Amino acid sequence: MPDAPFVDDFDGADLDRTVWVPHYLPQWSSRAASAAAYELAGSCLRLHLPEDHPLWCPEDHPPLRVSGVQSGVFSGPVGSTVGQQPVRPGAVVREEQPAHWGWTPRHGRLEMRARATLTPRSMAAWWLVGLEDRPERCAELCVMEVFGDAVARTPDGTPSAAVGMGTHPFRDPRMVEDFAAPRLDLDVAEFHTYAVDWRPDGADLLVDGDVVRTVHVTPDYPMQTMLAVFDFPEKAVPGEPYTEPELVVDWIRGEPLG
């Protein structure tokens, strides 16, 4: 029900599997190889990356570890090129995924309260992506994306972070590239509310209730949520101990246009 109100405060013993798929784009590898490391505790979802977490799609992608959950999944049959967010141009489906549409809003006020533990080799993000049940329904609306090497403190100790937000058209001919990462006085290790007011004529992207960016062309089809934390092993510093990155989500919710 894309236009119904939605809320998940992660109070249960496990993820609501009618909503969430605890894998990251499994069609390009497999569910076994793309399983998230996660736990529900203290009324929060914690996505994290142990040092021994397997690489994602190592045959097709530079070294990358990811723990992600998504509120939908879709692919064509094995050997086809039909699937969401291809790992590379010409990628083929390795494991067919049964279509699953959990929370797939089309417009509305969407919000997430979350914090992240990041290092210079990691990243956390929340973005919306088209279902790609038709090839052109593929654009991305990114609500927040923070790289650990874009987290800083001023000499007086004031925290800041460059927070990526905006749109990527991919193969949607009506969309435009409109993405930026404004630097905010923000400690991402603390809880903040990231949000998007998504309308047919544009979208406002907000942090803690303040509009940070506005985009003027938005997808006009249902989109699924992607929540993930990433580790880039090639950014490792020799001899530096590994710090486990995490994305901790207190709640996520959506209200349709009224």
Residue 1 pLDDT = 45
Residue 154 pLDDT = 81
Secondary element (H or E) of residue 238:
none
pLDDT at 245 over 50: yes
Residue 157 pLDDT = 86
**Cβ atoms 227, 23 nearer than 8 A:** no
Which pTM was predicted? 0.95
Q: Any idea which of 111-120, 154-163, 187-196 has the lowest mean pLDDT? A: 154-163
Q: What is the mean pLDDT of residues 125-149?
A: 96
For the stretch 179-203, pLDDT in tens is 999 999 999 999 999 999 999 999 9
For the stretch 140-149, pLDDT in tens is 999 999 999 9
Parallel, antiparallel, or unpaired: how do β-strands 183-184 and 159-162 relate? antiparallel
pLDDT at 3 over 80: no
Q: 31: burial class by Cβ within 10 Å (0-12, 13-18, 19+)?
A: middle
pLDDT at 257 over 80: yes
Q: How confident is the model at residue 2 (pLDDT cuts 50, 70, 90)?
A: low
| Long-range CB contacts for residues 73-81, cutoff 8 Å, separation at least 24 | 73/21, 73/23, 73/26, 73/27, 73/97, 73/98, 73/99, 73/100, 73/224, 74/99, 74/100, 74/131, 74/132, 74/133, 75/27
Domains and CATH numbers, the chain: 6-255 (2.60.120.200)
**Percent of the chain residues past pLDDT 70, beyond the cut:** 99
